[in-house]
Structure 1
Amino acid sequence: MGKSLYSVLALSTGLLLTTNAFAAVSGNIGGSSNYLWRGVTQSNDAVAIQGGLDYTHESGFYAGTWASNVDFGNDTSYEVDLYTGYAGNISENLSYDIGYLYYAYPDAEGSLDFGELHGALSWQWVELSYAHVVNAGDDVAAAPFDNKDLSYIAATVSVPLTEKVNLSLHYGYSSGEVVEAWFAEKHYADYHLSLSTDTSIGTVSFMLADTDLTADDAKIVLGYSYGFEL
């Protein structure tokens, strides 16, 4: 559940496909000391190895996939995300991203897969986003809970401190019957502060994250990712 659906677009130098159309294919690989999705660990507070592939077109269309190991305390061992959408500029400082993200758990015993529609608006350093589940497996939330009643609204401020160092502040709010089924609470907030820096061998990040869930504690997460063009 961890591929940030609002950061999947990695625009880079175009690969010439036709005379007038450019597209790019890129990849990324890395790891994290704790895989968090909306503030909640997906790896039982253990290390996660992650990676993905992205395709972007000059029209704004993008598609990709991303994978990570997970630990839910059962036989489910990995997650594969598939996503697609359109992103572009409304004006010089205002941009948008509209898409669909499917979370798959191929080796899960039950039917845990689900998909979300999302939309985001970004203005300079500020991004506002909203996502809502539109399809879900029968075991995402057991009856009598509605397994598609899950929404997420978030605000993120990303400030470049230097050419290579970035500061990010994030607040998110999850609500719906799925939240109640998972955590016995009707809604919760997650928030984090992160610092990231680009180096010659990849991007290194430090995050301090927490939620207001009753049984949750603040977490420090170290991450590394390396991006490349194909």
Structure 2
Amino acid sequence: MKKTIMILSAALTMTTLYTEQAQAVDGLTANVGVSNNYVWRGISQTSDQAAISGGVDYAASNGFYVGTWASNVDWGDDTSAEVDLYAGYSFEAGELAFDVGYLFYGYPGGDSLDFSEIYASVGWEFLTVGYHTLADSDWDSDFGDSDYLYADLAFEVADGLELGFHYGVSNFDGGGDYSDYGISLSKDNFTLAITDVDENTVESNFLVAVSYSVEFDL
């Protein structure tokens, strides 16, 4: 899935998180990355500390793909790792690129923290719009009790240099909704990203993330 370590997971890099892998030809790939922070939907998952990640993906030429990705996390408790599993299908129709799938977030050693989402996205040239909804969780939440809607823009502003913009909205059945937004610059395997969240519902979380990731065939 090429879930890069900077992971602004659904922030900035989400434009290509799933569709890149699904558009690839048949093959098994691996990825590793390092970052000064692991940011997920505008919130640090490592208490603003460094993160190391890695994953393995298989993409078939018919559009189906499966994979796994893992990173260290730090929430101030016994939870120290995140392990994700996912499967999906991507296809194109005219100028539009579609992607649908299932994503499981696992937290070994955590107390009732695992959950999963169903996602879908559509991309057109420089724009990608996506939607995630809760499928299941280890806590007292059911299907559809939370969701995430986002829009990403990506432009090549110079040879190999990409400028990205992101805006996302997290909704929860029990309240606490908030939005996150950011801007990024990417070149080769490096990415610089700046993110923040809506101060009306969540404490301001201005973050700067610098990451480096590589992907290789197996």
Q: Distance between the aligned counterparts of 2:172 and 2:44, measured in 1?
A: 19
Partner of residue 113, structure 2 = 112
Q: Distance between the aligned counterparts of 1:166 and 1:128, measured in 2?
A: 18
Instruction: Tell me: CA distance 1:11–1:118, structure 2 relative to 1, closer, same or farther (3 Å).
Output: closer
Aligned-pair CA distance for 1:31: 1.1
Per-residue CA deviations over 1:73-112 (Å, capped at 9, x if unaligned) read 1000000000000001011x2110000000000121x111
Aligned-pair CA distance for 1:215: 1.7
Is the radius of gyration larger for structure 1 or structure 2? 1
Aligned-pair CA distance for 1:11: 5.9
Partner of residue 67, structure 2 = 64
1:195 equivalenced with 2:185 (yes/no): yes
- 1:156-175 map, 5 Å: 156-175=152-171
Aligned-pair CA distance for 1:216: 2.5
Q: Distance between the aligned counterparts of 1:224 and 1:12, measured in 2?
A: 22
Q: Distance between the aligned counterparts of 1:218 and 1:147, measured in 2?
A: 31
Pick one of 39, 49, 53 that aligns with 1:50.
53
CA RMSD of aligned residues (A): 1.9
Q: Distance between the aligned counterparts of 2:146 and 2:55, measured in 1?
A: 25
| Structure 1 unmatched ranges of 5 or more | 15-22
> Does structure 1 retain, via aligned residues, the 8 Å contact 2:22–2:89?
no
Q: Distance between the aligned counterparts of 2:28 and 2:125, measured in 1?
A: 25
- 1:173-184 map, 5 Å: 173-177=169-173, 180=175
Pick one of 21, 26, 37 that aligns with 1:10.
21
Give the secondary-structure state (helix, strand or coil) at the position aligned to 1:10.
helix
Percent same amino acid among aligned pairs?
36
Give the secondary-structure state (helix, strand or coil) at the position aligned to 1:127.
strand
1:229 equivalenced with 2:203 (yes/no): no
> Does structure 2 retain, via aligned residues, the 8 Å contact 1:80–1:104?
yes
Q: Distance between the aligned counterparts of 2:190 and 2:198, measured in 1?
A: 27
Aligned-pair CA distance for 1:12: 7.8
Partner of residue 204, structure 1 = 190
Give the secondary-structure state (helix, strand or coil) at the position aligned to 1:167.
strand
> Does structure 2 retain, via aligned residues, the 8 Å contact 1:103–1:113?
yes
* TM-score, normalisation: structure 1: 0.83
Instruction: Tell me: CA distance 1:27–1:75, structure 2 relative to 1, closer, same or farther (3 Å).
Output: same
> Does structure 2 retain, via aligned residues, the 8 Å contact 1:147–1:177?
no
Name the aligned partner's letter for residue 123 of structure 2. Answer: S
Give the secondary-structure state (helix, strand or coil) at the position aligned to 1:215.
coil
| Structure 2 unmatched ranges of 5 or more | none
Q: Which has the higher contact order (CA 8 A, sep 6+)?
A: 2
> Does structure 1 retain, via aligned residues, the 8 Å contact 2:22–2:90?
no
Aligned-pair CA distance for 1:176: 1.2
Aligned-pair CA distance for 1:10: 2.7
